[in-house]
A = this chain, B = another copy of it.
Amino acid sequence: MNSELKVFFARARPAIDAALDALLPSENASPQRIHQAMRYSTLDGGKRIRPCLCVAAFAAYKKDWKPVLPIASAIELIHSYSLIHDDLPAMDDDDVRRGKPSCHKQFDEATAILAGDALLTLAFEALSKPKEFPGDRLLRVVAVLSAAAGTPGGMVAGQVMDLETEGKQVSGDQLSAIHRLKTGALIGAAVWIGAYLGGASEPDLANVKNYCDRIGLAFQVIDDILDATDGRNRDEGKATYPFLYGLEKSRGIARQLMADARQALAPLGERSKLLLAFCDYLENRKD
């Protein structure tokens, strides 16, 4: 890994975990069980890719990235809620998440549903608090994040389409639409929000948007490839890039998307260093 990115992760990840810890209700607060569940599923050693991308995009414009931590963490809360609900028996029915029992196995279904609801709600509460940004800007962040998380243009729409197409023939266009919505939208929002709050110019934001669109899809294509090669537990019957195109062509698609993402950042010059390093990191990750 690029040494600058390594240093960044070493500083940003603990800071994000601390910000998440500060946002989440205490385990001692009543009703305790749901707060335990929210913490169990969020403070679990995740890689924090979305909040790290948000912080990195912010850091391209502002040296001190501490102010963006609660915003970046709010995005991780949404990711965390989506995993809890995706794992439910009525959805993907997964008993294990990141090597531990999934939320509804560790607690129970009702607690898992409500913990997800509470994390989603808390994400928006977290966006409403920071005093370092003007209200108008934070309100635009609420707009962008809610659109990226909801339907028809965001994560929930992607999850619905993913469930609907299970076991069915899926075209390449359909699969890229599912991946863009289910995974790409939130990743893209994370980067865009970081650059926006950092004060990026309108032309820079347009370039960042192009970068977002590419790495968001590339991220999930690479996930598909890892599922196919590492024996990871992707649910049977779900379409993937390797299933549709074969492994070699899928790798080529991911490489091309990452090349396009890098290209989109070219006008940003020096500012783009960390975000470019993210492309290498995501392209070469092993899990």
Which residue numbers of A lie inside 8 Å of B, CB to CB? 25, 29-31, 33-35, 38, 81, 85, 88, 90-91, 108-111, 113-114, 116-118, 120-122, 124-125, 127-129, 134-140, 142-143, 146-147, 149-152, 154, 156-157, 159-161, 163-164
| Extra pairs beyond A121-B151, A128-B142 (20, CB < 8 Å) | A29-B152, A30-B157, A31-B161, A33-B160, A33-B164, A34-B156, A35-B151, A90-B108, A90-B109, A90-B110, A113-B113, A117-B117, A117-B120, A118-B150, A121-B154, A125-B146, A128-B140, A135-B136, A135-B139, A139-B142
Interchain CB contact (< 8 A) of A117 among B90, B127, B156: B156
When all copies of this chain in the complex are counted, the total is 2
CB distance from A114 to the nearest CB of B (A): 5
Chain B residues with CB below 8 A from A121, complex form:
120, 146, 149-151, 154, 156
Identify the closest chain B residue to A25 (Cβ).
B152
**Complex: how many Å from CA A151 to CA B25?**
8
CB distance from A260 to the nearest CB of B (A): 26
CB distance from A148 to the nearest CB of B (A): 9
Chain B residues with CB below 8 A from A111, complex form:
160
Q: In the complex, are the beta carbons of A156 and B114 less than 8 A apart?
A: yes
Interchain CB contact (< 8 A) of A151 among B34, B143, B151, B163: B34
Q: In the complex, are the beta carbons of B128 and A113 less than 8 A apart?
A: no
**Complex: how many Å from CA A60 to CA B36?**
42
**Complex: how many Å from CA A34 to CA B138?**
28
Q: In the complex, are the beta carbons of A91 and B110 less than 8 A apart?
A: yes
Interchain CB contact (< 8 A) of A124 among B30, B113, B124: B124
**Complex: how many Å from CA A161 to CA B135?**
34
**Complex: how many Å from CA A29 to CA B156?**
13
CB distance from A144 to the nearest CB of B (A): 9
Q: In the complex, are the beta carbons of B90 and A157 less than 8 A apart?
A: no
Chain B residues with CB below 8 A from A139, complex form:
128, 135, 138-139, 142
